[in-house]
Copies of this chain bind each other. A is one copy, B any other.
Amino acid sequence: MDLRAFFEPKSVAVVGASREPGRPGYTLLKNLISMGYKGKIFPVNPNLKEIDGMRCYPSVLDIDDEVENVVILVSADRAVKVVEEVAERAKRRGDVRAVVCISGGFSELNTPEGRERERRMVETLRSAGVRLMGPNCVGVIDGYSRFTTNFDVDDYPAGGVSLVSQSGALATALLFWARPFSKIGLNKLISLGNMADVDVVECLDYLKNDNRTKVIGVYLEGYKESRRLFEKMREVSLLKPIVLLKAGRSEVGSKAALSHTASLTGTDALYEAAAKQCGVIRVRDVLEWYEMIHALEKQPILRGNRVAVLTHIGGPGTLTVDRIGISKTLSLANIPEEAKSAIRSMVAPTANVCNPDGYIDLTASHTEELHYKVLKVLFAQDTVDAVIQVLGHSMFLSQRLMAEKVHAAFEEVGKNLGKTFLNVVAFDESLPEFKLEMERRGLPTFPTPEIAVTVLEYMWWYAVKRERLRDAPQLYPLPQPQRPLPIKGKKVMIEWKAYQLLERYGIAVADYRVVRGINEMISAAEELGYPVVLKAQHPELVHKTDAGAVVLNIRDATELRHAADTIRRNLSSRKGLEPQEYLVQRMVNSGVEVIVGGVRDESFGPVVSFGSGGILVELLRDVTFRLAPISRSEAMEMIRETLASRLLEGFRGESRKDVESLADLLVKVSEIMVREEWIKELDLNPVKALDSGYAVVDARIISA
């Protein structure tokens, strides 16, 4: 069933309607009218006959007309009873399709009673085929149908933005922010609340197919099925950008979120990885969230990363250029010589034309007409993908005329060529009329140079990512596990068995032999060639190195005998163990140390990781994650993200290591994590990346 009845119902019953101006049950009715909703409205309140001339019904069962949507504002206990009446009605008349439960007092209380109430409500409605949004939410606003269940926002213009939020206040606060200057036009606002029935994934799926939705802003505190969520987000991101603001980066933040909507926020690093993998623009703060949504609604997505800057105020102009200069992805545009000459012929001799290249400061002797002419030249250049114009207050300029001229330049040249055009008002309140005129014309303005450049950086990231996603539009489906759990009772797999598993998947382990006595050891070492490593193998032996069960760099038989003695003594004295099996392994002295791992997350499922070995991983957490399975190009992307990649590419005159074979290794590990469902954790630490190939020199597999 689709969600249409939540957004465009033909009629709505408001249970808990009121005639007291200070109550939600009153303002909601008022907002339906002030928004201009054209459907039928049925107030429900057993104590009232009418509200402002509207007939009031004792219960939803008493409404003769068809009712498609029911909004519930009464207390939690009464809400459960209302829902029973709704279900009864739906079964009898088949008209109610959607319930929006604004009321709180359910699972967010974290009490058994609250959870039970919520469970009953969902069960009752399901039995009647009625869907539920909330409880504990502010419901929906639809900018086009003009339907609303929101008691706070009394009017809002229609547009291309849809918001899906686990905090109703946050989403509506965004609208109040945007409204005075028409910064954002609204398609749909969805306040998810406790997501007892309709959840974020279903909403995203609905918005994916909603052609009026140009950009989706998501605020999330937590969601149980993260993998399902990001699979959907990946699908959506191919068609339209998602701008995600995710709470729970810190431990205390997670606690606050938990007490807010009963959401476990999940591991932040995995959210970060999944967003990167699925083309979701994850922003760092509220300002970025707002301005990204704002920019993406009004401007085309960047076609390239070359930005020209036009200003008449040197300081803010310099800061804009400076911010582009420290960007890792954007650069100033090169302006062709003819274009430079053309601009020079227009401007005052004191103007700065392209020093540095791509930057034009018209200085004090600028006019509206001059901005128009220079903008047209800039838009026309093939070498320019975006223009940032930085304007400041001036007693000598007409804000209205400037907006007209700037708009004309974009319409005449920039728009058809698909150029992205951002205007910075230095700062924010300096040019209110200009700002308003520009936003009305669909040209976004920004309060500071830095946020405008940040917006372009995210845009460009999305543009590049979206192209890559086209090759792999979905996360790979997870196959059924193929092998039964091979180790019972033992949590940690013995090393050589782990090696055998790896080898079955074609992973290259440094040559080894499993041996028992000293003679076997010596002949194994001779077969492998010295130097070798000797490691005891025992099911109880978890931290081999700490237990003194490993000797590295053994150079001959004498040293080998000595090593075997040492290990025996260590294990006997420290652990009371007498290992029967040993591993003799070829010593790999060359190469760059990296770490490859896998983990099975409750919410994200199988995950693969890659990072630097040695001190770097512990000192810097130089590690990156992806949901498994991954493609080869994703594996390459993972490697490139780490500092390890700089070491692998041939740092300080060292030879380049075989990065491609490492990518293969990552793909294989991701395959193992997907297929061997019994594995909880897998650690190849370290892996030696070599000039050709690689060698796994230690492995640890832990079962769930």
- A residues with a Cβ closer than 8 A to B are 22, 24, 27, 104-105, 109, 151-152, 154, 165-174, 176-181, 219, 221, 245, 247-261, 284-287, 290, 313-319, 321-326, 332, 350, 352, 355-356, 358-359, 361, 363-364, 392-396, 426-430, 447-451, 615-616, 618-620, 643, 646-647, 651-652
Contacts and interface: CB of A to CB of B under 8 A. Distances in A.
A249 B453 CA distance: 15
A251 B324 CA distance: 10
A620 B618 contact: no
23 contacts: A27-B395, A104-B350, A104-B363, A105-B350, A167-B316, A169-B313, A170-B315, A173-B315, A177-B430, A179-B429, A181-B429, A248-B322, A252-B322, A253-B321, A253-B326, A255-B356, A258-B355, A259-B352, A260-B315, A260-B318, A285-B323, A615-B647, A616-B619
A101 to B, nearest CB: 14
B447 A287 contact: yes
B287 A450 contact: yes
Nearest to A643: B619
Contact of A355 (B178, B259, B426): B259
A253 B151 CA distance: 48
A250 B643 CA distance: 22
B152 A395 contact: yes
Contacts of A105: 350
Given A317-B256, A325-B253, A615-B651, A426 B169 contact: yes
Given A252-B359, A615-B647, A247 B22 contact: no
Given A176-B429, A393-B172, A643-B619, A326 B255 contact: no
List the number of copies, as a whole number: 2
Contacts of A253: 318-319, 321-323, 325-326
A427 B651 contact: no
B172 A252 contact: no
A448 to B, nearest CB: 4
Contact of A167 (B27, B221, B315): B315
Given A22-B396, A326-B249, A395-B151, A256 B173 contact: no
A260 to B, nearest CB: 4
B176 A247 contact: no
Contacts of A250: 321-326
A392 B361 CA distance: 40
A122 to B, nearest CB: 20
B315 A165 contact: yes
A350 B109 contact: yes
Contacts of A322: 247-250, 252-254, 256-257
A449 B286 CA distance: 8
Most chain B Cβ neighbours within 10 Å, of A173, A256, A286, A392: A256
A325 B256 CA distance: 11
Given A173-B393, A177-B447, 19 more contacts: A169-B426, A172-B393, A173-B313, A173-B315, A176-B429, A181-B429, A247-B319, A247-B322, A249-B326, A252-B324, A253-B319, A256-B314, A256-B356, A285-B319, A285-B448, A285-B450, A287-B287, A290-B427, A618-B652
A355 B252 CA distance: 8
A620 B621 CA distance: 13
Contacts of A350: 104-105, 109
B221 A259 contact: no
Contacts of A394: 152
A129 B147 CA distance: 74
Q: Which of A179, A313, A363 has the most CB of B within 10 A?
A: A313
Name the residue in A176, A332, A363 with the highest tally of chain B Cβ atoms < 10 Å from its Cβ: A176
A356 B285 contact: no
Contact of A316 (B173, B325, B652): B173
Given A167-B313, A322-B252, A173 B447 contact: no
Nearest to A178: B429
From A332, A392, A427, residue with most partner B Cβ within 10 Å: A427
B177 A428 contact: yes
Contact of A170 (B178, B254, B313, B363): B313
A180 B429 CA distance: 8
- Ranked nearest first, the 4 interchain pairs of A and B with the lowest CB-CB distance are A167-B315, A250-B325, A253-B322, A170-B315
A424 to B, nearest CB: 10
A167 B646 contact: no
A646 B323 CA distance: 31
A166 B315 contact: yes
Nearest to A166: B315
A340 to B, nearest CB: 14
Given A252-B321, A350-B109, A355-B259, A314 B169 contact: yes
Interface centre among A361, A392, A450, A451 (most CB of B within 10 A): A392
Contact of A448 (B287, B449, B450): B287
Given A255-B356, A315-B167, A651-B615, A286 B427 contact: yes
A615 B317 CA distance: 38
Nearest to A174: B427
From A322, A392, A451, A620, name the one whose CB has the most chain B CB atoms within 10 angstroms: A322
A6 B429 CA distance: 29
A269 to B, nearest CB: 13
Nearest to A176: B430
Contacts of A152: 393-395
Contacts of A316: 167, 169-170, 173, 286
Contacts of A173: 313, 315-316, 392-393, 426-427, 430
Contacts of A355: 255-256, 258-259
A420 B284 CA distance: 25
Given A105-B350, A255-B355, A618-B651, A318 B285 contact: no
Contacts of A352: 256, 259-260
- Point out which of A248, A259, A350, A620 has the most chain B C-beta atoms below 10 A from its C-beta: A259
Contacts of A248: 322
Q: Identify the interface centre among A248, A260, A451: most chain B CB within 10 Å of its CB.
A: A260
A643 B618 contact: no
A225 to B, nearest CB: 21
